[in-house]
Amino acid sequence: MTGREWEMVVPAGSLPLARWRALRWSSGTGSALRRARSFMILTTLLYRASHLTVGVLAVAQHRPDRPVPYLGLAAALGLSILVYGTALRRGWFDPRQVGADVLVTGCALPFALYAWGGVRDTPSLGWAMLLGGSASAVAAVALTRPYALAAVALLVATHLYGYHLVGASRAVLGGHLNSLVSSAVMAWVMWWYLRRQGRLLDEANARALAAEAEKARYAERLAHHRALHDTVLATLTALAAGGIDANAPEVRQRCAREAAYLRRLVQRGADEVPHPGIGAALEEAVGSAESLGLRVTAQYHRLPEVPPEVAAAFADATREALNNVRRHAGTGHAYLTATECPAGPDGRPGAVVTVVDRGPGFDPGTRESGFGLRRSVHGRLAEVGGRAVVDTAPGEGVRVELRWPA
């Protein structure tokens, strides 16, 4: 099978795979739940920001000779930055930080203002009490149910006593306790709904991904069936009919190429599919070498997604390595493996392609690299951030390893 025949067959089966990968990357399992968490973090952050704004305006009216309100506001602001900064960075709240926020901002701050800040009236204490509402809201969504109930109960008890110390009216007391409890209840109901909808959406996405994967596998099987019909089956039918000479050199070469194609199909795992980029590029290079009489045993495993220029560089370097085997190894047989390599510093998986022959090899210390090896192998990989390594010794054959990224 030639490189042109591969190009005609593989992309036809790989088109559903491209749609499947696009769906998987754009709506991966768990993404809806992550978005629900992000929305909940943003909602409670805005709630806390509104209470801190009231606190800034209230503290600005205090006399400068009383630093405790300023220190209390600074402590509330610092804890808010810690709690919400961590949540935004990690994707969800740290329960220990939320507990500290409830104890310090929600419970201790009003008593500190009363004991050391000279606060003796309801309006002056109101901004600190407001912060208890946002503390109860985040506790309701970030803590487990027993701890969330305990946090809200503690806030209610301490705020009852705090307003009692400054002689707040029953109307103020009732309105504030209603705000404390309703903030927690509304936040919990919103989080329950968002979490439920996120899970339902993720389950729907998972089912869609499974359906797309099955369609891709079915299309891939059809593509291989067409390829087998047009190549291997056609050759066997012609041989069975007796219309051609089975010992003719061109027939033997065709049979060898198609046997190599079948070998690659058999060796591929059940769930593996050729990547439309690097897989097709490498197979074209293999087909080009086979058309010139070189027998290539190729194996592909878990080929990763690579940029088009990297796939082209791999193909050019592989073609030159195979040409070197054909010209210099004297064996007429090369072995090619291509697989995924561990992720690099950027987290993206790379690829490694190895071309091996069992020829006489050479002493790299006494032979200078030729133009093709220097420019088409080393040079092509270096241009895209990869590297090529040639390992050889007299009587040991030649092993060329192409790796990206370097």
Q: Are residues 196 and 284 in the same domain?
A: no
Q: What percent of the chain has pLDDT over 90?
A: 29
Query: What letter does residue 344 receive in the DSSP assignment?
Result: -
Average pLDDT over residues 72-81: 93
**212 within 8 A of 23, measured Cβ to Cβ:** yes
Residue-level pLDDT at 233: 72
Residue-level pLDDT at 273: 45
Q: Are residues 290 and 399 in the same domain?
A: yes
Q: Is residue 199 part of a domain?
A: yes
Per-residue model confidence as pLDDT tens digits over 272-299: 444 457 888 888 888 778 777 788 888 8
Residue 17, pLDDT above cutoff 50? no
Residue-level pLDDT at 224: 66
Q: Write the DSSP assignment of 323-340 as a string of letters.
A: HHIIIIISSSEEEEEEEE
Q: Are residues 147 and 283 in the same domain?
A: no
Q: Is residue 25 part of a domain?
A: no
Scanning the structure block, which residue is given the tokens 């806030």? 155
Residue ranges making up the domain that contains 173: 31-203
User: Where does a domain end: 172, 203, 234?
Assistant: 203
User: Where does a domain end: 177, 203, 229?
Assistant: 203
Task: Grade residue 405 by pLDDT with cuts at 50, 70 and 90.
Answer: confident
Q: Is residue 245 part of a domain?
A: no
Measured from the Cβ of residue 343, the count of other Cβ atoms closer than 10 Å reads: 12
Q: Are residues 79 and 182 in the same domain?
A: yes
Q: Are residues 146 and 279 in the same domain?
A: no
Q: Are residues 62 and 186 in the same domain?
A: yes
Q: At what angle do helices 170-230 and 31-59 cross, to 10 degrees?
A: 150
C-alpha torsion 246→252→255→260, nearest 10: 160
Q: Is residue 212 part of a domain?
A: no
Q: Is residue 252 part of a domain?
A: no
What value does the mean pLDDT of the chain take? 80
Q: Is residue 151 part of a domain?
A: yes
Q: Is residue 142 part of a domain?
A: yes
Sheet order of strands, 333-341 included: 295-301, 333-341, 350-357, 398-404, 387-392
Residue 238, pLDDT above cutoff 60? yes
Question: Rounded to two decimals, what is the model's pTM?
Answer: 0.52
356 φ/ψ angles, rounded to the nearest 5 degrees = -130, 140
Q: Are residues 282 and 188 in the same domain?
A: no
270 vs 283: CA distance, rounded Å: 19
Q: Are residues 51 and 194 in the same domain?
A: yes
Of residues 59 and 343, more confidently modeled: 59
Q: What is the CATH number of the domain that holds 304?
A: 3.30.565.10
Per-residue model confidence as pLDDT tens digits over 21-46: 444 444 444 578 888 899 999 999 99
Among 72-81, 224-233, 293-302, top mean pLDDT goes to 72-81
Q: Is residue 215 part of a domain?
A: no
Per-residue model confidence as pLDDT tens digits over 89-120: 999 999 999 999 999 999 999 999 888 888 88
Residue-level pLDDT at 268: 57
Q: Are residues 298 and 379 in the same domain?
A: yes
Residue-level pLDDT at 320: 85
Residue-level pLDDT at 146: 93
Q: Are residues 199 and 278 in the same domain?
A: no
Structure tokens at 148: 């969330």
Burial class (CB in 10 A: 0-12, 13-18, 19+), 395: exposed
Q: Are residues 52 and 195 in the same domain?
A: yes
Distances 190 to 32, 86, 144, 311 between C-alpha atoms, Å: 15, 21, 15, 48
Residue 302, pLDDT above cutoff 90? no
Residue-level pLDDT at 94: 94
Residue-level pLDDT at 34: 86
User: Where does a domain end: 160, 186, 203?
Assistant: 203
Residue-level pLDDT at 319: 85
Residue-level pLDDT at 20: 42
Q: Are residues 285 and 404 in the same domain?
A: yes
290 vs 333: CA distance, rounded Å: 10
Structure tokens at 144: 């487990």
Residue-level pLDDT at 274: 46
Per-residue model confidence as pLDDT tens digits over 366-388: 655 554 466 668 888 888 888 88
Among residues 4, 5, 20, 6, the alpha carbon closest in space to that of 219 is found at 20
Structure tokens at 108: 């201790």
Distances 16 to 3, 135, 211, 276 between C-alpha atoms, Å: 21, 49, 11, 11
Structural domains counted in the chain:
2
**282 within 8 A of 10, measured Cβ to Cβ:** no
Per-residue model confidence as pLDDT tens digits over 167-222: 888 898 899 899 999 999 999 999 999 988 888 888 888 888 788 878 877 776 77
